[in-house]
Amino acid sequence: MTGARQVSGARARGLLVAGTSSDAGKSLVVAGICRVLARRGVAVAPFKAQNMSNNSMVCADGAEIGRAQYLQAQAAGVPAESAMNPVLLKPGTDRRSFIVVRGRPGGHLEAGEYVGGRRHLAEAAFAAYRELADRFEVVVCEGAGSPAEINLRSGDYVNLGLAREFDLPVLVVGDIDRGGMLASLYGTWALLDPPDRELLSAFVVNKFRGDEDVLRPGLEEITRRTGVPFLGVLPFLPGMWLDSEDSLVVGRWTPSPSDSADDVTGGGDRLRVAVVRFPRVSNATDIDALAAEPGVEVLVTDSPRECEAADLLILPGTRSTVGDLHWLRERGIADVVERRATSGRPVLGICGGYQMLAGTLDDDVESGQGQVPGLGLLPIDVRFTPDKVLRRPTGTWRGHPVSGYEIHHGRVELEGWSPYLGANLGGRYGWSAEPFLGGWRVGQVWGTLWHGALESDAFRRAWLSEVAAGAGSPWRPQPGAPAYVARREAMLDAVADAIEAHLDVEALLRLPR
């Protein structure tokens, strides 16, 4: 996608895309609108005042923003920057979130501060919107959750608080796939105070399957009662696994109930990958590229049995490394990881999952628990520091170029062989440590701090081939399979095409003001 120009001078027009709930499709609708505008040569930028997500990305300037806004910038054809997501909350526990302000760590937020303790965050968000509005023709904003969360309205600056501050028209997206959409749309309108309600400018139905004639009477009645028109009905788009804010609900690789499968040992020519469902998983989008690879079957699970049966077990990133390591042991999956390591069956740890494979972890930052034992499967120790590492490394593996990004507090230090490693791996099998993408590999235990590395096509296919051989799987890469980046671009185009085909685009383009 060729980048649209930026402008200066007159203040941009803006639009807020809200939703009846989380995962209603706001992120994709914003991405699609950005692509539609970019196709028309409009200088457009995405914006989300505050994101609450553990899926994030590092911009070229080292700023950390929500993964969805990074994707939306790609849809708009412009470089991602911190102003597009000035406030990012990363949940650490059920009552505390870590704050990222303009791409950098900004302390933490307790649950009791959520309504009234965020004024400085609102000021940062409004200032970022003004920056974008001075440089672009249109700013397409994404809301958070639902604008009808009236318990949070007094401190809101991402939904109607943002719309009121900048007099933005509001487009509300309703997810019909989950049911109750008509009630949700009407309830959203009914719960708002009159000044907020006046900003509701249009409704859009999302994820529809079936005959629109059956739906139409309901839409007409909602418009009659609210005065808010519908711009159209977007169809359900199968196989849409674009970067999500809601972890582990991503298209083709869907969560699995614990130990629910009668048979977890099937196979054929498929490579079976189990991804551990950590309670505080982060950057789960790392797995998207695997799920898109032909013949690779990805299962998200907290079942020890399924982790044992897979050809490859992945410990993904986590926002609470020490806490999720304790959970891994309590769940019995730590024992599975150790058995796989000693028998030479592939395990990959990414970022927090890699750090769990260390001899020791010293954490006074995220968990405050000090020094705790790791799984002892790689010759490293981990020390957490207040300063966060944010960077975009590049390198090679077996001659294949690889790029990724790092987001972590833990510093990895190479140690001598840990007691477990020396006695059970190095001593018994004679395996030695080998550098691997900023991390280490011993036998079939692989660890890296690099998120996003699996998006590098040649590397991913070569590495999976080695993993398949180590697991005894007949899987091999499919010749001519499309590149991951090309598939992502095709999906962005598919969303934009659906908007062009199913919405009143001329009315949509008249909304921003």
CB 250 within 8 A of CB 286: no
Distances, alpha carbon 89 to alpha carbons 101, 120, 450, in Å: 9, 14, 21
Phi, psi dihedral angles at 502 (to 5 degrees): -115, -10
Q: Which residue has the tokens 């609210």?
A: 226
Q: How far is CA 494 from CA 33, 47, 141, 232, in A?
A: 12, 21, 20, 16
**Non-local CB neighbours of 180 within 8 Å, separated by 6+ positions:** none
Residue 347's DSSP bridge partners are 313, 445
Residue 416 DSSP symbol: S
| Count of CB atoms situated within 10 Å of the CB of 255 | 15
Beta bridge partners of 384: 410
Other beta carbons within 10 angstroms of residue 60's beta carbon come to: 9
Is-catalytic flag, 400? no
The three-state secondary structure class of 31 is helix
Q: What is the 3-state secondary structure (H, E, C) of 228-293?
A: CCEEEEEECCCCCCCCCCCCCCECCECECCCCCCCCCCCCCCCEEEEEECCCCEECHHHHHHHHCC
* Contact predicate 312/319, CB 8 Å: no
Query: Known catalytic residue: 108?
Result: no
Q: Using CA atoms, how far apart are residues 118 and 142, in angstroms rounded to an integer?
A: 19
Amino acid letter at 357? L
CB 210 within 8 Å of CB 236: no
DSSP single-letter state for residue 66: E
What is the CA angle 148-215-207, rounded to 5? Answer: 60
Q: Pick the catalytic residue: 59, 351, 408, 409?
A: 351
Task: Find, among 265, 308, 307, 312, the residue nearest to 293 by Cα.
Answer: 312
The catalytic residues are 351, 451
